């Protein structure tokens, strides 16, 4: 493996307090030297002049669709898309076919990932068997096979007794429970955020209360059991406040928000735009403001993509029948840069929410730039403008409401385990 010398970048890592211009030398898959001007004979040079060098991003929430839905995505295609988006570690959700609810399936994902993935892939196992919400999955054997969390993402675990037991079982395993917090009765039949847009379109709405009732219940159960609860894709102002108050009481809680819930409002579904149909639905500017506030004061720990690739046919249908989800790995960072350019979020904090913060939840020694650490690094040009063209996506999922959007800020290179796994050609 050739050494790599990243030259003259602004190296940012909030976790270690690093923000200085200099070089990074990578050797044997690890960071060997850092800062100042480094010379290394024979090393491959990555010129990062006027660019940012930061820890490779960690996505705690994406859908790779393998096994079962390979027309939407595979571990190979999804992980390559991740590399393009600056991600060096991705955690994949278990709503595959069959769902990842037992150890042999986890071993299957790990085996394929080892052979075919461009970046580190960490599987998440189901909370309940086949995600049906009736009985617990084989949590212990899946933990032994290497899952990093448990989730029935796509559905809320409706039965509170079962969720209590899942939390109790997760405790000795030391792994978090990731909950899709949406009360299925309150959300029943809903297609978009309950409000002016849904009414205008004649669609049944999903009230913010559907999320908040579920968040409140799961916080109470986390408080009861002492389990580590991670709330997926928080979308409402009320949920942010419930999490804030619970954290103040000392509940072991973490939470994520997606790039789309931070940057897009319910208005994107006007015209019955199925590309903007997601679960939970896009909300309002007031929710976005609360989510940004939550990121800044630590209520919301991380940003996760919820990359949800679908085929063209899954979206080319009437709104009520369309699949929920946005293919987000390749646009996540650039879309989020809007918040930096508009002064709403400092760049070092954005980077931390995508790297050191998810590493802390996963309790892994990743997401940081320091000597000896694994060489997982993203190089970013904060000012490079580009237009989203899904025809160029590496992901099999071209489903995004951002097609044709002009974005400012782009990942220009990704280094994973000491090797360049993506380099921008524009």
Provide the minimum distance between the beta carbon of 120 and ligand DOR in the complex, in angstroms, as a whole number. Answer: 21
Binds ligand DOR by CB under 6 A, chosen from 77, 79, 88, 95:
95
Q: Cα separation of 212 and 231, whole Å?
A: 11
Binding residue (CB under 6 A) for ligand DOR from 66, 274, 279, 355: 279
Q: Per CB under 6 A, does 94 bind ligand DOR?
A: no
Could you tell me the CA-to-CA distances from 334 to 8, 85, 103, 269, 382 in Å, in that order? 22, 9, 36, 21, 8
Q: Is 25 in the site for ligand DOR (CB under 6 A)?
A: no
Smaller CB separation from ligand DOR, 301 or 314: 314
Residue of 13, 306, 314, 376 marked catalytic: 306
Cβ of residue 256: shortest distance to ligand DOR, in angstroms? 12
Q: How far apart are CA 203 and CA 190, in angstroms?
A: 7
CB 110 within 8 A of CB 143: no
Specify the residue, 95 or 381, whose C-beta has the smaller distance to ligand DOR: 95
308 binds ligand DOR (CB under 6 A): yes
Query: What residues from 51 to 80 belong to the interface with ligand DOR (CB under 6 A)?
Result: 63
Rounded to the nearest 10°, the torsion over CA 397, 403, 406, 408 is -20
Residue 415 near residue 380 (C-beta atoms within 8 A): no
Q: Which of 58, 62, 219, 324 binds ligand DOR (CB under 6 A)?
A: 324
Give the count of beta carbons closer than 10 Å to the beta carbon of residue 317: 11
For residues 105 and 352, is the Cβ–Cβ distance under 8 A?
no
The yes-or-no answer on residue 306 being catalytic is yes
Closest CA to 302 of 344, 349, 347: 349
**3-state secondary structure labels for all residues of 290-333:** HHHHHHHHCCCCEECCCECCCCHHHHCCCHHHCCCCECCCCCHH
180 touches ligand DOR by CB under 6 A = yes
Does 242 engage in binding with ligand DOR (CB under 6 A)? no
CB of 258 to ligand DOR, least distance (A): 9
Q: Is 153 in the site for ligand DOR (CB under 6 A)?
A: yes
Interface ranges with ligand DOR (CB under 6 A): 63, 95, 153-154, 180, 278-279, 306, 308, 324-325
Q: Which residues are tagged catalytic?
A: 306
């Amino acid at each position: 493996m050739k050494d790599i010398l990243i030259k003259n970048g602004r190296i940012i890592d909030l976790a270690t307090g690093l923000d200085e211009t200099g070089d990074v030398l990578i050797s044997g898959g690890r960071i060997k030297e850092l800062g100042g001007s480094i010379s290394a004979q024979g090393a491959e040079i990555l010129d990062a002049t006027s660019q940012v060098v930061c820890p490779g991003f960690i996505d705690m929430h994406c859908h790779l669709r393998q096994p079962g839905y390979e027309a939407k995505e595979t571990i190979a295609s999804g992980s390559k898309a991740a590399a393009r988006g600056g991600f060096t570690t991705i955690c994949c959700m278990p709503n595959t076919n069959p769902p990842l609810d037992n150890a042999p399936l986890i071993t299957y994902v790990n085996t394929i990932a080892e052979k075919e993935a461009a970046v580190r892939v960490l599987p998440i196992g189901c909370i309940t068997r086949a995600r049906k919400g009736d009985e617990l999955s084989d949590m212990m054997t899946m933990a032994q096979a290497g899952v990093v969390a448990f989730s029935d993402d796509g559905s809320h675990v409706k039965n509170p007794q079962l969720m209590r037991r899942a939390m109790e079982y997760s405790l000795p395993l030391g792994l978090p429970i990731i909950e899709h917090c949406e009360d299925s009765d309150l959300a029943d039949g809903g297609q978009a955020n309950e409000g002016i847009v849904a009414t205008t379109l004649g669609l049944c709405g999903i009230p913010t209360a559907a999320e908040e009732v579920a968040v409140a219940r799961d916080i109470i159960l986390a408080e009861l059991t002492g389990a580590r609860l991670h709330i997926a894709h928080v979308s409402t102002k009320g949920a942010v406040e419930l999490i804030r108050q619970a954290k103040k009481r000392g509940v072991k809680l973490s939470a994520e928000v997606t790039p789309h819930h931070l940057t897009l409002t319910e208005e994107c579904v006007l015209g019955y735009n199925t590309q903007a149909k997601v679960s939970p639905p896009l909300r309002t500017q007031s929710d976005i403001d609360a989510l940004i506030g939550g990121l800044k004061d630590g209520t919301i720990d991380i940003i996760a993509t919820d990359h949800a690739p679908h085929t063209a046919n899954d979206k080319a249908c009437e709104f009520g029948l369309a699949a929920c989800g946005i293919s987000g790995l390749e646009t996540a960072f650039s879309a989020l840069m809007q918040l930096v350019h508009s002064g709403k979020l400092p760049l070092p904090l954005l980077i931390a929410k995508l790297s050191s913060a998810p590493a802390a939840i996963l309790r892994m020694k990743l997401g940081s730039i320091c000597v000896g650490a694994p060489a997982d690094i993203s190089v970013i040009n904060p000012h490079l403008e580009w237009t989203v063209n899904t025809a160029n996506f590496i992901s099999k999922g071209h489903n995004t409401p951002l097609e044709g959007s002009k974005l400012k800020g782009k990942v220009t290179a990704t280094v994973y385990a000491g090797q360049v796994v993506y380099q921008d050609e524009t």
